[in-house]
Structure 1
């Protein structure tokens, strides 16, 4: 990743905010943080799992009940730990931070 962020143009996607990604936030021109409502994420987890189980949405993994439960745990972890940790560590970049809370903000 360090080689990538030293190039002229790059995009990194993910949910990580641990120390190993710190340099990417420092080098970024723009940081887009997707901060949708907790309950909307729950709805989307249920919807995605249902559509994948019915074969109506492609999945890169086998949609198991175990993964379904892990998504709810991840959602809670993100809300209680991941998101506050992100703002605590990387709030210093508020001048280049765009927080998106809904689809409407992208139109």
Structure 2
């Protein structure tokens, strides 16, 4: 979605995103983060495995707060200025994901890719699966 430059992040054009996605999906091994699922979903056909991280809504709120504090304290790197405005937007994005995007994504995955779908809800499950 984003091209990292010295001047800051620049949003890629749709054509550039598709080109990058096709290049990645043609690789032998790859991982794609799917928050932008409306355009990365075409890579699902090429995936051997799809892992959906279904972290509890309240836990994600805790992650948002922790990330903001660590970024403001310059302990964690941020690819954007961690402003209070963005901090508030994160809560809205989280709520929108829970109410709208998550059900859409899960419906798509369960309908078309259930044979290669794993839903992980806790860190222990991730660590067990990886090991």
Contact 1:52–1:58 (8 Å) recurs in 2: yes
Change (3 A) 1:52 1:4: closer
Aligned to 1:11: 31
Aligned to 2:106: 87
Give me the whole-angstrom Cα distance separating, in 2, the residues matched to 1:42 and 1:28: 29
Give 4+ residue runs of structure 1 displaced > 3 Å after superposition: none
Cα RMSD for the two superposed structures: 1.4
Give me the whole-angstrom Cα distance separating, in 2, the residues matched to 1:64 and 1:14: 24
Aligned to 2:4: none
Count of matched residue positions in the alignment of Structure 1 and Structure 2:
106
Deviation per residue, 1:45-104 (Å, 9 max, x gap): 011111211222222221100110110011001100110000122212111111111111
Aligned to 2:116: 96
Give me the whole-angstrom Cα distance separating, in 1, the residues matched to 2:47 and 2:82: 34
Deviation per residue, 1:2-59 (Å, 9 max, x gap): 23323333222231221x3232111100011111000000011011111211222222
Give me the whole-angstrom Cα distance separating, in 2, the residues matched to 1:51 and 1:11: 26
* Secondary structure in 2 matching 1:43: helix
For normalisation by structure 1, the TM-score amounts to 0.88
Higher relative contact order at CA 8 Å, sep ≥6: structure 1 or structure 2? Answer: 1
What runs of 5+ residues in structure 2 fail to find an aligned partner? Answer: 1-20
Give me the whole-angstrom Cα distance separating, in 2, the residues matched to 1:97 and 1:31: 5
